[in-house]
Structure 1
Amino acid sequence: MNEITERDLLDFALLTDFESFLKHSMLTLNPGMPFLPNWHIRAIAYQLERVRRGEINRLIINMPPRHLKSITVSVAFPAFVLGHDPRQRIFSISYGSELSLKHARDFRSIVESPWYARAFSQMRLSRSLDDEATTTLKGFRKATSVGGVLTGLGGNMIILDDPQKPVDAQSKVRRDSLNQWFSNTLVSRLDNKETGAIIVVTQRVHMDDLSGHLMGSSDQWEVLSLPAIAEVDEQVPIGDDEFHTRRAGTALHPEHESLETLRGLQKDLGSYDFGAQYQQAPIPEGGATVLRNWLCWYDRPPERTTKTKVLLSIDAASKDGPQNSYSAFSAWQVQDGHYYLLNMERGRYNFPQLRDKALALAQRYEPTLIVIEDASAGIALAQELRSMGRHRVKAVPVERDKETRLFIQTSKFEAGHVHFPKDAPFIPDLLAELLAFPHGKHDDQVDSMSQALAHKFSGYTLDNLH
């Protein structure tokens, strides 16, 4: 009986486990550089393996830059596929020829390495050109750029990697041109439109970029969206019946880019670019309901007078579980018809924590009035705060939907009556939610704002606050 060696075990791992294959590919391309494994690589590898097995044939991977997306999808994966089946015909396409050719050179470095030749003994190249590598069984990996010549060529897998530069995506003409080229030219290169596979891997650059266009026009796409900072708790598939639990507020790959580093990038890039390229959640150009050019800023709020009012607005979530909405607290200085946002906080709280947070903020800002949505946990919170007798509290009935409540207040934004503090740490998350509303993942901060802006101070007494 032959003894199984470590080399045999390695060859078996390279054949059966794409993550192991990727690690050896990285060591070939970047000798001496450490390979930092992470769950997001397993998530990508799982979806790619589903493509290779024929379980899905339309895949979109949206993720931030510099997280191994190109080497994983455009370089290592075609080498893995052709290693298992040298008859496969693969197009790998990027926005520019220089990038496409670099990926092609990296691909050749992998398939011409000794470890690859040993593990995949049936895969051999019969021709190796700058832009095309052909196998002895007539399979190939063809590299080209968006808009490149594809006439007369056909294949069974298309990989589209970063099809458009972020700056080009800001042009409607160029966005539309790419989307039309994809639909009218690229898809026709599949030999079989039913079984042929298309993989799009890119960072989001605009609401109407190729990812947005494809997701909006068809429900056949499997989408793996990997924001740099998790916005919600989620279960991400990393294998058959295997999931990674990702908590809201965590970085995608902390060993590679820490949460602190990402927050710095968010501040440097601004909410628009960071929301698109890093969070995979592009904000509508100029904003959706509230427009970006309506926003006003202040360094310090004006000196308070006898007419100054302070308002604490609370939007209380119904439950504190990880899948439920946030509770949001906004503090405002209201003066001469202008609203100055002093602070915005949000979190998931059980009822005692919700009450304690409200009391702490009330002690800090000494509000003229606390307004609380008269629904869910807000009902009990308003009753308990009133029973303490320390603050004036008004329960606000929910009379309209969220979109209408904000829309009614847009005239205040447009008139320049709503002011935000410059450089406050909560501003990036707040603007991402406000400018995307109602298309974003969250609306709790917006609800707290709408409630505050809707309140009229004139004419109330302690009696009608109950």
Structure 2
Amino acid sequence: MNKDMLKKMLAQRELARRSLKAHLEYKFQYYYKKPLLNNWHIDYMCEALEAVLRGEETRLMLNIPPSYGKTELIGRTFIPYGIGKNPAHKFIYTSYGDELSVQTSDEARTYFKSKEFLNIFAHENLTTDQASHWRLPQGGGLYATTIGGAVTGFHAHTIIIDDPMKASEATSVAVRKKVSNYFSGSLLSRLDETADKKASIVIIMQRLHKDDLCGELLKEHGNQWLHIGLQALNDKPKTYSYGNFIYERAQNEPLFAAKHNLADLEAKKVQMGLAEFSSQMQQDPSESDGGVFDQSLLSGINDYELPELSEYIFVDASESVKSTSDDRAIVCEGWAIDELERELCVMLDCFHGKWEEDEFCDKMIDMMIAHPKAPLYIEAAGGGITAHRLLMKKVTAVNAKFRSEGKETIKNPIFSFTPRKDISKNASIMSMLSYYNVGQLKVRNNARGLEQIKKEFKKFNPEKTSNEDNCLDALCKGFVLNGVVSPKKMTDKKPLENNRYALKRTWRI
């Protein structure tokens, strides 16, 4: 290394001791050995985070789209940097999943022990050296846990909350309440405060719901928080400033063009749907009254266009047949992998109604006769347990009758399945949205029950519990039941064009 290169490296090290942003750039160059994908929003966040370390900000809330560098900055870089500057500084880091929290902690610890970091902040060996908990002799270090995890016995000068819940759980009142209770009941009591020094909390997350943790805190204690909300795309010019940082953002300027340019954001809006795009990318969650599934994006397919499909019948069995109970629903759907290596799902037929057990079995048999190669899956819960037992008996009787008449017998395999407990019905239905938005979830144009499916797509609201979405509940089973669906690969068909239904404007929400 020549003299000029050495002087430059020593200057970079000195800057990395003084500045979080310079430290991040140094880390990418010497530790990751690649350039930082730079953008102004990183400087903006670094400026606010430096104020947290100085004790000038004790409540910082950062709302930013996913995959825009927040965990790298906050979890893997800010924490080691903060402990390097003050070896007595204690952090608690928490996120929605234990695996994610521990992995982030372990990556921060690995960097903290690296020669690249030691060239900036020399330190003693760790007295506690575990993936989820590491600490210096001076007391500073990191304890990582998950939302709801135990933090007894640990206190921190800075608590970092990074995405406290999954996007798929945003509609769950129970999950939102769990996050809120954990924040107020456990985390706040873990702040290590003294009379002359206040401890700090940093929340960094994409907005998922109007009543998520950020929504709740802004509504009740908004004046106590420095709130930085960064939209992926702004509809008017805006000035961002904090400390020595200032940036003039033009109208319709992507937040991070190197990550998502205008075309990317438009495509993402279609893929995610307006409601999710507004929340996660624009940090503007609003209560939806249906319209999550944009009716203009509903894609149909004619029988002669159908590729070869792997067919499946899914049954949603309500426990009661009272007028106020859910409908029973039977859906046959077909799956394929198209020439562009994309999964395609086609809703082939749908039956629904409040049937007594005998008629319910007849409807399932009708569906199996119409789709003789499709295995039938019935949920082993509520009325499904009884219906499964009665169906097996009735199929035996029907087959005896068919044989005596010289007809083809029913050979569809019949299975029961345990409903998933880790995902709500509404979250399961929402799992179809990305397929729906890009035309990879289609409906057969002459499908039985087509109007009911259209009606349920139109009215579905993930914020509300409903007994009018049971066909969707049956349809989505192919999207959420692991290891059940095996799509056929299309080999001799041309890529399918998206035949959007031309719906009346009054259908738009």
CA distances 1:329-361 after superposition (whole Å, capped 9, x unpaired):
xxxxxxxxxxxxxxxxxxxxxxxxxxxxxxxxx
CA spacing shift, 1:119–1:295, aligned 2, 3 Å:
closer
Residue 264 of structure 2 aligns to a residue whose secondary structure is helix
CA distance in structure 2 between the aligned counterparts of 1:24 and 1:130, rounded to whole angstroms? 24
1:121-160 to 2 correspondences below 5 Å: 121-122=122-123, 124-160=125-161
- Residue 236 of structure 2 is aligned to residue 232 of structure 1: yes
CA distances 1:80-138 after superposition (whole Å, capped 9, x unpaired):
10000010110011111110111012102211121211211246423310101111212
Amino acid at match of 1:276: S
CA spacing shift, 1:95–1:75, aligned 2, 3 Å:
same
Identity %: 27
CA distances 1:28-70 after superposition (whole Å, capped 9, x unpaired):
66444x3111100000101101111111100000000111100
Amino acid at match of 1:39: W
- What residue number does 2:395 align with? none
Amino acid at match of 1:26: F
1:430-445 to 2 correspondences below 5 Å: none
For structure 1, list consecutive stretches of 5 or more residues without a partner in the other structure: 300-421, 424-434, 436-452, 454-466
Amino acid at match of 2:230: L
1:245-324 to 2 correspondences below 5 Å: 245-286=248-289, 292=291
CA distances 1:344-384 after superposition (whole Å, capped 9, x unpaired):
xxxxxxxxxxxxxxxxxxxxxxxxxxxxxxxxxxxxxxxxx
Deviation at 1:238, TM superposition (A): 5.2
CA spacing shift, 1:42–1:295, aligned 2, 3 Å:
closer
Residue 142 of structure 1 aligns to a residue whose secondary structure is strand
CA spacing shift, 1:267–1:297, aligned 2, 3 Å:
closer
Deviation at 1:298, TM superposition (A): 10
CA spacing shift, 1:191–1:294, aligned 2, 3 Å:
closer
Amino acid at match of 1:144: T
Deviation at 1:7, TM superposition (A): 3.3
1:11-410 to 2 correspondences below 5 Å: 11-27=13-29, 30-32=32-34, 34-122=35-123, 124-192=125-193, 195-218=198-221, 219-237=223-241, 239-240=243-244, 242-286=245-289, 292=291
CA distance in structure 2 between the aligned counterparts of 1:21 and 1:278, rounded to whole angstroms? 27
Residue 204 of structure 2 aligns to a residue whose secondary structure is strand
CA spacing shift, 1:116–1:294, aligned 2, 3 Å:
closer
Contact 1:203 1:278 in 2 (8 A): yes
Q: Provide TM-score, normalisation by structure 2.
A: 0.55
Amino acid at match of 1:191: D
CA distance in structure 2 between the aligned counterparts of 1:30 and 1:7, rounded to whole angstroms? 16
- What residue number does 1:440 align with? none
CA distance in structure 2 between the aligned counterparts of 1:37 and 1:14, rounded to whole angstroms? 16
CA distance in structure 1 between the aligned counterparts of 2:293 and 2:59, rounded to whole angstroms? 40
Amino acid at match of 2:280: Q
Deviation at 1:249, TM superposition (A): 0.8
For structure 2, list consecutive stretches of 5 or more residues without a partner in the other structure: 299-436, 439-460, 462-505
CA distance in structure 2 between the aligned counterparts of 1:6 and 1:55, rounded to whole angstroms? 32
CA distance in structure 1 between the aligned counterparts of 2:24 and 2:263, rounded to whole angstroms? 28
CA distance in structure 1 between the aligned counterparts of 2:214 and 2:84, rounded to whole angstroms? 29
Aligned residues: 296
Contact 2:30 2:116 in 1 (8 A): no
CA distance in structure 2 between the aligned counterparts of 1:131 and 1:27, rounded to whole angstroms? 26
Deviation at 1:296, TM superposition (A): 7.2
CA distance in structure 2 between the aligned counterparts of 1:293 and 1:133, rounded to whole angstroms? 44
Amino acid at match of 1:140: G
- What residue number does 1:360 align with? none
Contact 2:51 2:57 in 1 (8 A): yes
CA distance in structure 2 between the aligned counterparts of 1:29 and 1:118, rounded to whole angstroms? 11
RMSD value, Cα: 2.7
CA distance in structure 1 between the aligned counterparts of 2:96 and 2:220, rounded to whole angstroms? 22
Deviation at 1:207, TM superposition (A): 0.6
Contact 1:232 1:248 in 2 (8 A): yes
CA distances 1:401-452 after superposition (whole Å, capped 9, x unpaired):
xxxxxxxxxxxxxxxxxxxxx99xxxxxxxxxxx9xxxxxxxxxxxxxxxxx
Amino acid at match of 1:47: A
- What residue number does 1:331 align with? none
Q: Provide TM-score, normalisation by structure 1.
A: 0.59
Contact 2:238 2:248 in 1 (8 A): yes
CA distance in structure 2 between the aligned counterparts of 1:78 and 1:293, rounded to whole angstroms? 39
CA spacing shift, 1:294–1:205, aligned 2, 3 Å:
closer
Deviation at 1:161, TM superposition (A): 0.3
Contact 2:31 2:116 in 1 (8 A): no
